[in-house]
Amino acid sequence: EMVMQSLLMAIKRRHPEGGLINHSDRGSQYCSYEYQGLLNRFNMIPSMSRKGNCL
């Protein structure tokens, strides 16, 4: 999936520290078990706010 590959590419290039907050909308691709598992694997914190809220 393109979303997963994009995240892996960013991780490979940037080498983020654990605890990074990953902001996204609530699209199904970002809510999937696979994507959430990838965030968890790299100790990233998901952040998905409601529509119209950029928190």
Tokens representing residue 27 in the block: 């699209």
Q: What is the DSSP string of 7-49?
A: HHHHHHHH-PPTT-EEEE---HHHHSHHHHHHHHHTTPEEEEP
Tokens representing residue 2 in the block: 């393109």
The tens digit of pLDDT for each residue in 11-53 reads 999 999 999 999 998 888 999 999 999 999 999 999 987 765 5
Q: Domain spans of the chain?
A: 1-6+16-55
The tens digit of pLDDT for each residue in 4-21 reads 999 999 999 999 999 999
pTM: 0.81
